[in-house]
Structure formats: C-alpha cells, structure tokens
C-alpha cells in the first residue's frame, strides 16, 4: 500500500526523447547528476555537481510515487556525511549531464547509456503542462515507462538504446517531429 504524504508535491513533468543534445551555444548551465536507485525501494539518492565545479555538491534523497495524470515527489536534502552513509546501500546507478536550455533540461547519459538524450520540462499547473509545445525534433515519452529513471537503470542498456532508436525512427517517419505521443 502506498501512503500519500502531506509533504509530497505534485510533479508535473513531461519527458521527450531527442536524437542529439542541444547545441553548446544554447546551453546556459551544465550539471553532472549521479542517481543511485536504492534496491528494493522507491528511493533515489542524487548527487548534483556543477560541471565547472563552481560550487559544492548537492545531495538529495527522493521518493517518486506514480500517479495519473501526475506523480508525487518528496525530496529531502542530506549532508555529505548522510549521503556517504546512504551510498553504502545496494543500488543501481545512472550518470548523466543535465544541460539547461530553458524551459528544458536535456539529460545526456553517460556510461552504458551513452547516446541516449532525454529532455524534460516541469510545470507548476496542469494548464501550463498541457499548453507546452515541444520544439521540433523532440518526441514525447512522458507516459512511456521505458524512459523513466527507475526503469532505465534496471534494463539492459542495449534494449533501451534500441527502443530509443525505434521511437525516433517511427516518430520521425510518422510526424513532423513534435511531441505527440
């Protein structure tokens, strides 16, 4: 049984598959994100570092709960020593570089998922989420569970990369490149 919390917030997030990262000239911020999906839980331990190392790392412990049309998110910030202790728990790890091109954040995956690029946009209300029109070349995968972090980290990378190629190929052939699911 999932217990909803008074401390959770609605996460209105739309995700898009991209054929390539955004042009460097458009990027206003770069962060390296390491996500540890703790085995047997719905918890994610995240470290966020500025790529240029201009500030201290930020550590968060997050619980994401699915929902329709939007899920719920509860996040607490943890200290470096708390992070180190939690990082000893068994987990599956994803690493990505988040490239900010407002209003989108582009996740350029590293390691076994190199070549995968997802963009996401977050919204404060349902009307804004519904009204958002994705730029050309982005293909919406918001409801495609294969492209959520918890699934990405626990699926064979070759299957994920092939699925991404299949979606891009099908969407490019069947649409004008806009985010229609």
152-170 residues labelled b (16+ CB within 10 A) or e (exposed): bbeeebeebbebbeebbee
Kindly report, residue by residue over 108-142, the tens digit of the pLDDT: 999 999 999 999 999 999 999 999 999 999 999 99
The yes-or-no verdict on residue 3 having pLDDT over 90 is no
Architecture of domain 9-174 in CATH? Answer: Beta Barrel (2.40)
Segment among 20-24, 138-142, 171-175 with least mean pLDDT: 171-175
Residues facing residue 75 across a β-bridge: 62
Kindly report, residue by residue over 81-111, the tens digit of the pLDDT: 999 999 999 999 999 999 999 999 999 999 9
Instruction: Please give the pLDDT value at position 90.
Output: 98
DSSP annotation of 98 reads E
Of 173 and 145, more confident: 145
Instruction: Please give the pLDDT value at position 55.
Output: 87
The yes-or-no verdict on residue 73 having pLDDT over 50 is yes
Instruction: Please give the pLDDT value at position 179.
Output: 44
Alpha carbons 100 and 119: distance in angstroms, whole number:
9
The yes-or-no verdict on residue 181 having pLDDT over 70 is no
Instruction: Please give the pLDDT value at position 177.
Output: 43
């Amino acid at each position: 049984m999932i217990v909803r919390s008074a401390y959770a917030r609605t996460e209105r997030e739309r995700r898009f598959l991209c054929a390539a990262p955004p042009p460097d000239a458009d990027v206003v911020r770069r962060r390296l994100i390491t996500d540890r999906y703790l085995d047997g839980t719905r918890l994610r331990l995240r470290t966020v570092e500025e790529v240029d190392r201009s500030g201290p790392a930020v550590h968060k412990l997050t619980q994401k709960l699915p929902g329709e049309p939007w899920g719920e998110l509860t996040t607490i910030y943890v200290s470096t020593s708390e992070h180190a202790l939690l990082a000893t728990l068994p987990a599956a790890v994803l690493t990505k570089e988040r490239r900010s091109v407002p209003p989108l954040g582009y996740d350029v995956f590293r390691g076994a998922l190199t070549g995968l690029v997802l963009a996401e946009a977050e919204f404060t209300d349902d009307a804004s989420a519904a009204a958002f029109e994705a730029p050309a070349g982005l293909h919406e995968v918001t409801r495609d569970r294969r492209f959520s972090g918890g699934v990405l980290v626990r699926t064979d990378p070759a299957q994920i990369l092939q699925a991404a190629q299949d979606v891009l190929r099908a969407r490019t052939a069947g649409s004008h490149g806009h985010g229609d699911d």
